[in-house]
Structure 1
Amino acid sequence: MRSRRRRRPLLVTALSCALAVLAAGPTAATGTGDADRSGGLGAEVVRLYEEASLATQRYEAGRREAEEQRGRAQRLERLLDRERRDIAVLRGDLGRIARAQYRSGGGLPHTAQMLLADSPEELMRGQRALWRADLTVDNAVTRNRRAESRLAADESKAEAAWQALERRNDELAGIKRGIERKLEEAQGTLQGQADASAAAGACRGPVRLDQPETTFTQPWIPPVETYGLSAGFGSGGERWANRHTGQDFAVDIGTPVRAVGRGRVVKVSCGGPYGIEVVVRHASGYYTQYAHLAAVTVEQGERVSTGQWVGQSGTTGNSTGPHLHFEVRLTPQAGSGVDPREWLAERGVEL
């Protein structure tokens, strides 16, 4: 399915949502006034995401540079081939000159002509012939030596270019692998804490993250910055009681989830099929839900602005893989959902 923005290559594509709307409702949040022990971990995941993004940018820039370097090295190889052919021609010329001199006795015939010359003009012609023969040999030898010297320098340059290319690629790959390992470890720990909260039906309290310094000029935005769209509104599936009631965004664990518009948090819960979820009421009378989270960053009753982080994505509740389940409802409760894509499109947001 088409998405508005493509995900970063570093992130693994999440699996499809598997939400079963059961009769039992989500458990109410408890202890929201307490500091969340996973706060530092959630911030660490966000920090690692930023590092991963920078590492990916460096990797892509390095990859493009490597391709350019590869092209330069290939051009050098083609130059070397031409120079090798030129040297072969020069050596052939030297061989022909040497054979010709051997057959004619070198410069002796010209010398004999000069000694037997009957006039100054004939003597001058002999001198010029001798000079041209010597010059031809000297020029051929000089060109050959220069070509061999240039070939050796270019071969060294080509080898250095390939070695630099390999070192650069190894360095960038190592940076990526290191950040990916750290991110996967932090994501696993964050999701483990979230699963424990969901199983207990009690939220730990909000993770207070440093909000991005971004002022949105538009009143409505997508709930995540980069994503791939998976299950859509009204789609069928054996894990859903009827039809899918929202729009799923394929994102990795710990991805910041944003309020799509201004509003007030009316619900934070950590149990039931939605796992950890946040519901926001907007001035238009509609409600938006953000479900299967790994952490929440707001409290019930808190006012939120467009783009403010309300949580971090995860795979809690009835879910088969990391993603954000996003709903638009007429009421805070399940069962009153409308198509989120159409609803956002009416407000100028194309997914």
Structure 2
Amino acid sequence: MRSSCRRHSLLVPALLCACVVLVAQPTAAVGDSRGMQASGASEPGPRVARLYQEAAATTQQYERVRREAKARRAEAQRLQKLLARERQQIKTLHKDLGRIARARYRGGGGLPYTVQLLLADTPEELMRGHRVVWQTDLAVDQKVARSLRAEARLAADEKQAAAESRKLQRRNAELAKKKRAIEKKLEDAQWTLQRQADASAAAGACRKATRLDQPDRGSKRGWVAPVERYALSARFGGSGARWASRHTGQDFAVPIGTPVRAVGQGRVVGVSCGGAFGIQIVVRHTDRDYTQYAHLAAVAVNPGERVAPGQWIGQAGTTGNSTGPHLHFEVRSTPELGSGVDPVPWLLKHGVKL
């Protein structure tokens, strides 16, 4: 099956996959909590969400420092080129001065001043000759002094740039180490979360909604994509051996625990576990359309709750008939399977381009 060409960078490497929906149960979108269990004292869901945010911040720092180090290296290379050119100019000048000095030495150092005075036709001619020689000598001296100052300045700049580059490289190595440690913690928490989700899906009883610290959504947009960073995989209407019929939604390949967002304002009409879709949420929006978020690892809302655009309502996983971590997203005109429309143009109509 062909994947979408559009890709967004993921916070950590994850399996890219397409969902497998064989036969969805009609009760999968019913607005009930179906025997929700009380969640334990230690919930991996919020921990995964926090680690995602921490990893994102560290990754941004890492990339910023990496760019700064690259800029420093480029500046150092530029200074090296300037320094090499300046040294070549000084070398050429020294050769010229040496040639002049040797010529004067072979010629006896030039005519004595008294002879120049006797040979000059007029005093003005003599003064002009001396002025020309004096100006030439002055220009040469100034060039030599300027070149030496420039060489010293460029050498100092090069040394400072090299020191700053080494400092940035050390900082980048520290951030890389911190990033790896966070990703290791994140991976451990992800699979703990997924194991709990698998147990809930197998039992057909969802755990109690786990509240997540909501991000600052900034300007309140009317509609958003269901996940922030993703790679599009299986498309609406696709066919294959993994489906009993056509694919009924749009898949977003994301790591386990990725926060899933409500695409628009609405009310939760269904939270359920088990079956082909695994753990899923159904939201009815103000335009009377329904959106479904399936194969989740955790839910953060209960039936009947109102949700806002961009609100974290759950976390992606790989429950149900799924070959790997992803979000299966559907748009329907009714809560039940069979009334779906292509989510991509539907989102585009609402101002969201995937």
TM-score relative to the length of structure 1? 0.80
1:297 CA drift (Å): 0.4
Is the contact between residue 263 and residue 283 of structure 1 (CA under 8 Å) also seen in structure 2?
yes
Q: In structure 1, what residue type is equivalent to 2:165?
A: L
Q: Deviations for 1:135-160, whole angstroms, at most 9, x for unmatched residues?
A: 86686466445524532431332243
2:83 and 2:119 map into 1 onto residues whose CA distance is 51
Q: 1:306 is matched with which residue?
A: 309
- Aligned counterparts of 1:122 and 1:216: Cα–Cα separation in 2: 87
Q: After TM superposition, give the deviation of residue 257 of structure 1 in Å.
A: 1.1
Tell me whether 1:16 sits opposite 2:20 in the alignment: no
Q: Which moved more, 1:47-56 or 1:59-68?
A: 59-68
Paired with 2:135 and 2:218, the residues of 1 have a C-alpha distance of 78
C-alpha distance in 1, partners of 2:214/2:232?
A: 25
Check the 8 A contact 1:290/1:325 in 2, yes or no: yes
1:1-351 to structure 2, matched below 5 A, reads: 1=4, 3=6, 7-8=8-9, 10-12=11-13, 14-22=15-23, 32=36, 34-37=38-41, 39=43, 41-106=44-109, 109-110=111-112, 113=115, 140=140, 143-144=143-144, 146-172=146-172, 174-183=174-183, 184-185=186-187, 186-214=189-217, 217=220, 219-282=222-285, 284-351=287-354
Deviation per residue, 1:54-102 (Å, 9 max, x gap) = 3344344444444543443333223112212211121112211221232
Distance 1:346 1:144 in 2: 70
Bigger CA drift: 285-294 or 51-60? 51-60
More moved, 226-235 vs 153-162: 153-162
Say if 1:216 and 1:307, in contact at 8 Å, map to a contact too.
no
Task: Give secondary structure in 2 for the equivalent of 1:243.
Answer: coil
One-letter amino acid matched to 2:326: H
Secondary structure of the structure 2 residue equivalent to 1:82: helix
Of 62-71 and 151-160, more deviation after overlay is shown by 62-71
Matched residue type, 2:147: A
Q: CA deviation at 1:248?
A: 0.9
Cα distance, 1:127 vs structure 2: 9.6
Query: Offset at 1:243?
Result: 1.4
SS in 1 for 2:267: strand
| CA RMSD, Structure 1 to Structure 2 (Å) | 3.7
Instruction: Give the residue type in structure 2 aligned to 1:110.
Output: P
Structure 1 position 37, deviation (Å): 4.3
1:305–1:123 CA distance, 2 compared to 1 (3 A):
closer
| Amino acid corresponding to residue 35 of structure 1 in structure 2 | S
Change over 3 Å in CA distance of 1:234–1:208 after alignment to 2? same
Higher alpha-carbon deviation: 257-266 or 239-248: 257-266
Relative to 1, partners in 2 of residues 1:259 and 1:38: Cα closer, same or farther, differing over 3 Å? farther
Tell me the secondary structure at the aligned position of residue 256 of structure 2: coil
> What's the secondary structure of 1:327's corresponding residue?
strand
Q: 1:235 to 1:36 in 2, by over 3 A?
A: farther
- Fraction of identical pairs, as percent: 50
Q: 1:83 to 1:284 in 2, by over 3 A?
A: closer
* Cα offsets for 1:205-259 (capped at 9, x unmatched): 2111122344775544332233332211111222122211111122222222122
Say whether the 8 Å CA contact 2:212–2:300 is kept in structure 1: yes
Is 81-90 or 63-72 further displaced after alignment? 63-72
Q: Which amino acid aligns with 2:39?
A: A
Distance 1:118 1:235, change over 3 A: closer
Unaligned runs of 5+ in 1: none
Quick check: 2:10–2:230 contact (8 Å CA) kept in 1?
no
Q: Distance in 2 between matches of 1:139 and 1:349?
A: 67
Structure 2 stretches of 5 or more lacking a match?
none
Residue-pair matches, total: 345
SS of residue paired to 1:306: coil
Q: Assess if the C-alpha contact under 8 Å between 1:37 and 1:204 holds in 2.
A: no
